Amino acid sequence: MKILIIAASLALFAAQPALALEQAVNITQSVKAVEVMHKGVKVKIERNPDTENMLDPDFSLTSRPCPPYCIQPMHLAPGVETIGELELLEYLKKIGRDASVMVIDSRDGTWPLRSGIIAGAVQLPWQELHPGHTDMEKIAETLVFRFGAARQGSLWNFENAKTLVLYCNGPWCGQSPTNIKQLLALGYPAHKLKWYRGGIQDWKMLGLSTVAPM
């Protein structure tokens, strides 16, 4: 009887090996890929179909000097929502269709060149929103002409300002958190600021595609 059971199990396994090998590497059970607009062109975000794919060397390190590469909290500030990949994809789908949303890659230096950026995001190095690196008048221009805020004398009106979704290298990166805290200090509404804490490290860990910065 035991021999018959083993034989039946082996026969069942042998009958469907191809099924296991050919399973798709979807984003979710029902979503294979997501199309987003990047600089006016449709780009498909999907996961690498190679199940042996590994992280880039840049993002395979487990430990970095702190400071500056310190682990960030899950919640940056009251009212600022921390989001994951699926929530970020929902915002990315609005790019090019909803002018009230902007996804920002806050990284500086060669990081975007080495690892690519998330399709639909715009590059805005964190220094461009930091008064220690950029003149306040230039920061004001960014708030008005890129984010949709309005100046009223010495005060700011953020009623029509965009919802900003910021990310950087990962949970150990302080670039997008620095920008978010600076925007809050200027009066930007917390509910209009979203933070993808996982950043490029988590994005790549899940095999999601990136595009070359242009």
CATH number for 127? 3.40.250.10
Phi/psi zone of residue 75: left (φ > 0), alpha (ψ -120 to 50 degrees), beta? beta
Enclosing domain of residue 82: 24-205
From first to last of its 214 residues, the chain has per-residue pLDDT tens of: 444 444 444 444 444 444 444 678 999 999 999 999 999 999 999 999 999 999 988 899 999 999 999 999 999 999 999 999 999 999 999 999 999 999 999 999 999 999 999 999 999 999 999 999 999 999 999 999 999 999 988 899 999 999 999 999 999 999 999 999 999 999 999 999 999 999 999 999 999 999 999 7
In a domain, 196, yes or no: yes
pTM of the full structure: 0.88
163-167 vs 33-38, strand pairing mode? unpaired
Q: How many CB atoms lie within 10 A of CB 176?
A: 28
Termini Cα distance of the chain? 66
Q: Tally the domains of the chain.
A: 1
